[in-house]
C-alpha cells in the first residue's frame, strides 16, 4: 500500500525482481547451483534433501486431521503410525532399496499410507492408473518389475486373471476385501495396519533407517506413450521436493507482484483443507496436493469420485480452502444450479492445470468467489507436475497464458531443427530445472529422444511474450487431454484398426465445455463391411480404459485425407467435420 492507502499499480515489480527478492541468502527460496546427473542447474539451496525429511516435518501437526473420507478420519499421528508400520512390513517382506512396489488404487486413505510406506522402506513406489484395464495394469506390473503390489479390491478383481503373467510379483496386499482371498500371494492390508479409524490406536513408530540422497530414484509414474505403451518416468526425491518449492514460490511471487510482503510460514495458522478429486496416481494429485498438504499440516478431504452434487456440501462442512485439479472441476462448481445454496466462503484458491482452460474461466471464478486466488499451471509427468504457474492478478491479466517458470526453472522455444526462437514466435517448448526427471524406465531410446542435457522436449507448441509468460498453442504430439487425462490418439486408432471392418481410422479432439476435449473417431470401413458406432466404441472399450473410448464415431465415405507422405491430415479432417453437414 502507498502512504495514502491506495494499492500500487500492478505489477509492482518485474518477475525477475520478484525472483531476486525471494532468492536472497538465508531464505527458504535461496537459489544455489548443483550438478544433477552431470548437468549443472539452479536448485533450491535450502530444500529438504529427501522425502524422509518431508515426512518428519509432518510430526509437527500430529493431532490435526489429515485424511477424511466419508465417515473415516485419520489424524497426522494416526497416518504416520500406519505408514511407518507398513514400511517395516515391506522390509520384512524382503523389499530392498530400489525394489519396485506397485500401488493400484483409487483415492482412499490407505493410498497415502501405501505410498509413504513404500518410500520409507527405500523402495521405488510405482503408482499405476486405477482406470486402466486388466491388460494395461499387467503391462505396468511387468514393465516396472514390481515385486509387491498394493491394490483395492476393485483393482484386484480387475487384475486377478493377469497376475500369473507377472512372474516377479511375489506378494499382493488388498484393501477393503469383503472376505479372505484364496491366493497364497494375497494378504489383507487391514491385517497390517487395520482400518482407517483404527490407525489412531497403532503405537507410534519411527520409520526404518534407510539412507537416501536427493537424486536417488523414489517413484515411477507412467505417462501415455505415442507407440501405444505407457512410459515410466523415473522420479527422484529432488524432483518432487523442487516441485513443492516451485509452487510455494509462485504463491510468494504473487504477493510481491501486487506490492505486498509474502506471509511467513506459521505452523499455528488455521488449517487449510483441500477437496482432492484428482487421482493420487497422477503427478498433480500426488506431488502438488498430497505431499505438500501433509508437510504443511493441512487436511485432505476425498471423494470416491468427483461429484459436484456432493462436493458443494463437503466444501461447506469441512471448510475447504482449496479446490481444483483440472478446469472441469472449476466449471462444474461454478455452473451448479445450487452453488448459491451453500456457504463456500472458506474457499481461498481455485487452481487447475492438465487440460485446456478457457480464458473466461478466471473471470467467472473471481465473480463467484472474489476472495479466492485463481491459478492455473502447465506441467507434465516428466516435470514432476507443475513447471509453469500463473497466479492471482497475473492470471487475471493474462488468462490465456499458463504463466512463467519458478526461479529454478528455465524455458525456451525451439524450432524443429533445434534453433532458439525469439519471443513471440511459435516453436516447441523445452524446459530445464530440478523437477525434470532423469528419463524413462527401461526405455533408453525414448529417453534420448526426449531429454537433452537436462532439458525435456515437451512436445507442446508454445510462444513466449516479452515478460516471459508462456502460451501453449498446440501439441506437437498426437495427443488430446480429456479432463486432465492424456489420450494418445495412436493408441485408440490401433484399437480401432483391430476391428475387422475398419479400413482407415483417425482420432481427433472434440471440444467440450468442461472436459476441454473428448476423443472423436473418424472411420472409413472396408468395402462391403458394416459396423455401427456403438459396436466400434464397445470394441475399443474391451481394449482400453473407459476415458480413452471415443464419445462419437463419424463414418467417412472415402479414404481419410492425407498429405504427400501418406499421413492423415487431421487439421483438414477437423475442418471438414466442423462443417454443418456433420
DSSP structure string for 109-163: THHHHHHHHHHHTT-EEEE--TTS-HHHHHHHHHHHT-SEEEEEHHHHHHHGGGG
Q: Answer for the pair 299, 66: CB distance below 8 angstroms, yes or no.
A: yes
> Whole-prediction pTM value?
0.87
* 383-411 residue pLDDT tens: 999 999 999 999 999 988 999 999 999 99
Which CATH code fits 51-212?
3.40.50.980
* 19-74 residue pLDDT tens: 999 999 999 999 999 999 999 999 999 999 999 999 999 999 999 999 999 999 99
Distance between CA atoms of 248 and 264, rounded to whole angstroms?
A: 12
**Does residue 464 have a pLDDT over 90?**
yes
354 vs 120, higher pLDDT: 120
Q: Which CATH class is domain 479-577?
A: alpha beta
CA atoms within 13 A on the CB side of 221: 24
Stretch among 198-202, 338-342, 550-554, 562-566 having the lowest mean pLDDT: 562-566
Query: Hey, what's the cell of 189?
Result: 492390508
**Does residue 563 have a pLDDT over 80?**
no
- Residue given cell 509474502 in the structure block: 262
| pLDDT tier for residue 486 given thresholds of 50, 70 and 90 | confident
Location of each CATH 3.40.50.12780 domain in the chain: 15-47+235-475
**Does residue 257 have a pLDDT over 60?**
yes
**Does residue 81 have a pLDDT over 60?**
yes
Q: 15-47+235-475: which CATH topology?
A: Rossmann fold (3.40.50)
| pLDDT tier for residue 5 given thresholds of 50, 70 and 90 | low
**Does residue 565 have a pLDDT over 50?**
no
pLDDT of residue 355: 59
Distance between CA atoms of 357 and 352, rounded to whole angstroms?
A: 9
**Does residue 452 have a pLDDT over 80?**
yes
515 vs 87, higher pLDDT: 87
For the segment 106-124, the average pLDDT, to the nearest whole number, is 98
Mean pLDDT highest for which of 169-173, 373-377, 493-497? Answer: 169-173
* 304-334 residue pLDDT tens: 888 899 999 999 999 999 998 877 788 889 8
For the segment 288-301, the average pLDDT, to the nearest whole number, is 96
Burial of 72 (0-12, 13-18, 19+ CB in 10 A): middle
For the segment 262-289, the average pLDDT, to the nearest whole number, is 92
* 188-199 residue pLDDT tens: 999 999 999 999
Location of each CATH 3.30.300.30 domain in the chain: 479-577
Location of each CATH 3.40.50.980 domain in the chain: 51-212
| pLDDT tier for residue 356 given thresholds of 50, 70 and 90 | low
Query: Hey, what's the cell of 352?
Result: 487447475
What share of the chain has pLDDT > 90, as a percent?
76
Amino acid at each position: 500500500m502507498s502512504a495514502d492507502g491506495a494499492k500500487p499499480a500492478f505489477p509492482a515489480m518485474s518477475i525477475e525482481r520478484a525472483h531476486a527478492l525471494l532468492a536472497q541468502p538465508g531464505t527458504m527460496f535461496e537459489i544455489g547451483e548443483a550438478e544433477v546427473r552431470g548437468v549443472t542447474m539452479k536448485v533450491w539451496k535450502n530444500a529438504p534433501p529427501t522425502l524422509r525429511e518431508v515426512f518428519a516435518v509432518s510430526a509437527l501437526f500430529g493431532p490435526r486431521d489429515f485424511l477424511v473420507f466419508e465417515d473415516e478420519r485419520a489424524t497426522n499421528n494416526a497416518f504416520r503410525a500406519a505408514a511407518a508400520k507398513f514400511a517395516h512390513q515391506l522390509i520384512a517382506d524382503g523389499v530392498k532399496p530400489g525394489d519396485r512396489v506397485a500401488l493400484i488404487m483409487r483415492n482412499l486413505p490407505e493410498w497415502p499410507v501405501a505410498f509413504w510406506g513404500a518410500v520409507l522402506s527405500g523402495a521405488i513406489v510405482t503408482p499405476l492408473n486405477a482406470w486402466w484395464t486388466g491388460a494395461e495394469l499387467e503391462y505396468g506390473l511387468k514393465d516396472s518389475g514390481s515385486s509387491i503390489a498394493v491394490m483395492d479390491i476393485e483393482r484386484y478383481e480387475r487384475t486377478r486373471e493377469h497376475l500369473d503373467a507377472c512372474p516377479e510379483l511375489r506378494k499382493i496386499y488388498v484393501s477393503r476385501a469383503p472376505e479372505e482371498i484364496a491366493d497364497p500371494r494375497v494378504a489383507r492390508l487391514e491385517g497390517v495396519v487395520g482400518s482407517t479409524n483404527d490407525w489412531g490406536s497403532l503405537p507410534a513408530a519411527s520409520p526404518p533407517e534407510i539412507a537416501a540422497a536427493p537424486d536417488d530414484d523414489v517413484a515411477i509414474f507412467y505417462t501415455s506413450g505415442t507407440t501405444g505403451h505407457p512410459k515410466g518416468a523415473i522420479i527422484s526425491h529432488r524432483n518432487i521436493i523442487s516441485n513443492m518449492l516451485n509452487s510455494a514460490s509462485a504463491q510468494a511471487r504473487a504477493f510481491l507482484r501486487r506490492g505486498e510482503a509474502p506471509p511467513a510460514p506459521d505452523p499455528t495458522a488455521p488449517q487449510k483443507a483441500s477437496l482432492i478429486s484428482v487421482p493420487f496416481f497422477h503427478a498433480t494429485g500426488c506431488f502438488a496436493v498430497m505431499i505438500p498438504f501433509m508437510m504443511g499440516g493441512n487436511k485432505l478431504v476425498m471423494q470416491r469420485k468427483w461429484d459436484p452434487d456432493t462436493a458443494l456440501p463437503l466444501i461447506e462442512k469441512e471448510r475447504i480452502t482449496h479446490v481444483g485439479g483440472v478446469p472441469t472441476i472449476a466449471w462444474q462448481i461454478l455452473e451448479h444450479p445450487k452453488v448459491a445454496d451453500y456457504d463456500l466462503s472458506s474457499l481461498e484458491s481455485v487452481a487447475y492445470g492438465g487440460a485446456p482452460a478457457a480464458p473466461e474461466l478466471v473471470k467467472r471464478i473471481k465473480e463467484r468467489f472474489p476472495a479466492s486466488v485463481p491459478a492455473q499451471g502447465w506441467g507434465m509427468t516428466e516435470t514432476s507436475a507443475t513447471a509453469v504457474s500463473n497466479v492471482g492478478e497475473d492470471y487475471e491479466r493474462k488468462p490465456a497464458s499458463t504463466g512463467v517458470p519458478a526461479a529454478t526453472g528455465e524455458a525456451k522455444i525451439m524450432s524443429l531443427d533445434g534453433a532458439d526462437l525469439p519471443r513471440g514466435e511459435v516453436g516447441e517448448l523445452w524446459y530445464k530445472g530440478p523437477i525434470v526427471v532423469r528419463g524413462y524406465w527401461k526405455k533408453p531410446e525414448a529417453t534420448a529422444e526426449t531429454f537433452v542435457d537436462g532439458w525435456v522436449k515437451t512436445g507442446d507448441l508454445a510462444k513466449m511474450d516479452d515478460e516471459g509468460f508462456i502460451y501453449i498453442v498446440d501439441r506437437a504430439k498426437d495427443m488430446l487431454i480429456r479432463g486432465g487425462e492424456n489420450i494418445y490418439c495412436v493408441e485408440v486408432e490401433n484399437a480401432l484398426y483391430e476391428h475387422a471392418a475398419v479400413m482407415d481410422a483417425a482420432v481427433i479432439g472434440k471440444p467440450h465445455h468442461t472436459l476441454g476435449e473428448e476423443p472423436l473417431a473418424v472411420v472409413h470401413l472396408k468395402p462391403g463391411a458394416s459396423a455401427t458406432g456403438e459396436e466400434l466404441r464397445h470394441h475399443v472399450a474391451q481394449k482400453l480404459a473407459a476415458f480413452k473410448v471415443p464419445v462419437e464415431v463419424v463414418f467417412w465415405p472415402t479414404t481419410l485425407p492425407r498429405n504427400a507422405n501418406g499421413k492423415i491430415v487431421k487439421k483438414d479432417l477437423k475442418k471438414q467435420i466442423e462443417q454443418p453437414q456433420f
